[in-house]
Amino acid sequence: MKELIREFFGFGPQGFTREPEGYFSWQHLTFVTVLMVVMVALAIYFGTTRRTRDERAKNRVLIWAAILIDGFELVKIVLHCVDERDPLGWLIMLPLFLCSIQLITIPLAAFTKGRVKEASLDFVFIFGLLGAVLGTYFAGQNYAAYPVLSFVNVVSGITHSISGFASLYIVLSGMASMKRKNLPIIFAILGGFSVAAYLANVLIDYNYMFLVRGDGTPYDIIFNMVNGNPVIYPILVVGSLALYAALFHLVFHLIKSKPQKGAPLFED
């Protein structure tokens, strides 16, 4: 039993002794597909059953999502801090990836009010599902380095699935406002985290928000297009995310209702 626990967490001077099954291996795809199925099923159940409930009842689900996602991440950070092999491991665990922004925006969506709450709900809706897919199926940096059923990948899979769950739940329960006036706040959140991630990358030589290189993610396409230019590449990464948010907003309203002639497309 001790050996199983040690191997799951990767404790000890040698870390994991198992060879990683590999990125896009059947083990990787099976594991993340199970997570995605559970994520979607829970989102449909809670979203549809609470759609006609009051805001307090709807918000209670988000509170639990916020507690769980931050709780799992906190445990991961603590374990990295006590790992004798890397006592400064917490430096690469800061919430500065696109996916990990949800560690802050989901609690903001759950515990704040007014425009901050509306914008946070929309931010989670827009980026939560994207982060869930990118952080599971396309997490080449994780599944190429660690066994599929290891603490690192299990916690990562759970937290990304919670982000996707929150995204789907917000729209299915009717909590998404998607107002035009909240777009500047969404861009500000994205821009603020991008600047913080870029500065952290410079200070500790890391790759937060994949602003330095693609690391086996779809960002490799952009990286290769510009030959890894250290100025153009991060600008294009952030610009693509902002463009994605704007297009997501537009498509949402086009699907939601066909605009009448002369009527505004967006709700103010």
Q: What is the pLDDT of residue 266?
A: 46
- Six-digit token string for 137: 């199926």
Nearest to 203, CA basis, from 76, 91, 80, 90: 91
Of 193 and 256, more confident? 193
How far apart, in Å, do the first and last CA atoms of the chain sit?
A: 58
How far is C-alpha 194 from the geometric centre of its chain's CA atoms?
Answer: 14
DSSP 108-120: HHHH--HHHHHHH
Of 117 and 88, more confident? 117
- Note the pLDDT tens digit of each residue in 36-82: 999 999 999 999 999 999 999 999 999 999 999 999 988 887 777 66
Residue 26 has pLDDT above 60, yes or no: yes
Would the CA dihedral through 138, 197, 238, 71 be positive or negative? positive
- Note the pLDDT tens digit of each residue in 135-160: 999 888 789 888 999 988 999 999 99
Amino acid type, 146: Y
Question: Would you say the pTM of this structure is higher than 0.85?
Answer: yes
